[in-house]
Structure 1
Amino acid sequence: MSEFADEQRDEIEALESIYSEEINFLGDSPHCFTIPVKTEDYDEDEGEGRLVLFKFTFTKKYPSEEPLLEVEESENIDDEHLDELVAHLKEQLTENLGMPVVFTIVTAAIEWLGDKNDQIKRDIEAAAKKIKDLEEEEERKKLEGTKVTIESFLSWKAGFDEERLGKKADVIKGSKLTGRELFMRDKSLNDSDIKFLEQAGDTAVTVDESLFEDLEDLDLEEDSEEDPDWKPGDDSD
């Protein structure tokens, strides 16, 4: 038994030298103490970084037996990650059975916690970027307007024309129509729409419906008294 006691005492002296400002001794029969493990960015006041406070207790036959390892407290680390860390350290205890192991365990914990901290940061940044990309995509769709194909455009335009014509009956002045009526009746305009869409092929195009809203404001009506011989379709000077 004195052999184990000597080994334990030697290890305690070494640990006190290494972790002089962080190790906290709770008892010496058996030897019991805590050592904190934290990430490089840990800041208690700012609430940043991560910390785990481990409690070690030597058994009578340590280091031929594993020491008791417990988590006294933790900050900014969830239970799932904490369980993963403890399981990792338990493996280290088993692999190093028969040797002074506290320094090895603390070093492994620091490395694991640092790697997990970096991964968590990357996950948070990726999630934030995904949300930002989705918001930008929604905004882009709003700015693009409504995308239509040939079929959907013609269907929409037929309804649009029917609605417009239904609001205002045809008015014939003398022997000719007003400029706006000619615009609404001119079949070549429909043909131009079709040609435009056929040139686009299957590629979706955007339509700004507001361009059609001001048709009633267009001053296209000709004064019949200025040119009594004018006929629809006559473009000559």
Structure 2
Amino acid sequence: MLALERHRQMLDLLKKHGSVRTTEVAKTLGVTEETVRRDFEKLEAEGMLMRSHGGAVRLETQRREFPVRERAAQNSGAKIQIARAAVAKISEGQTIFFDPSTTVQHLAEALPDIPLTVVTNSLQIANLLADKPAVHVVLLGGNLMSSSLSCTGWAAEQTLNLYRIDSAFVSCRGIDPERGLSEASEEQARLKHRVVEGAESVYLLADSSKSGVASSYFYSQNSAVDVWITNEKPSPALESALTAQGVRIELA
């Protein structure tokens, strides 16, 4: 197969899935993993994709704030798996924070109706929890972001200061081994920075497509994360870097 044809098929796979694994592409195209890695390097230099640990991601997948319905359809099985594992980290009487990510929305759906307080800036999560009378919901106000159906800005950040957060459950658009967690939106990054900075414990709920990826705005060092719950074991290099920074990795 000619290189140009390989590149076209790789970009088609990225367009369809948003992210691909080196091993899977090699198997699909019938070439070696080393060939795929060289092709990824060339395509990255041309601005066609971004390499990640173990694969590659479509650039706009990490740089844009996609509508919540579109994000919900991406890797939904892995997100549900991660959310179910995260339920075990929640206890009665806690005050916890839920970010507006689609993975955490699945956590809100799986959350049992127990006495606790959930602080969130997500309209969808607040709506999901409204059917659970034992759960006290605090909805942060502010500037409505239509893409994520969530509130950000000065008002949301100031309201957040009123609460002591026992555990924060957050996701991200990318996990860089050196620079940390990132988001596609500056507004979401600012709020998440405040959340992570003030929470007693931080649980990162992120599927394997986020591994080794850097989006537009970094909001936290990896060392601020206590536990990363994911669906697949990360690459040895990323696992080693995060473990050295004090992150415990748990597979759902």
TM-score over 0.5 (shorter chain): no
Q: TM-score, normalised by structure 1?
A: 0.18
More strand by share: 2
| Structure with bigger RCO (C-alpha 8 Å, 6+ apart) | 2
Instruction: Report the structure number with the largest CA radius of gyration.
Output: 1
| TM-score, scaled relative to structure 2 | 0.17
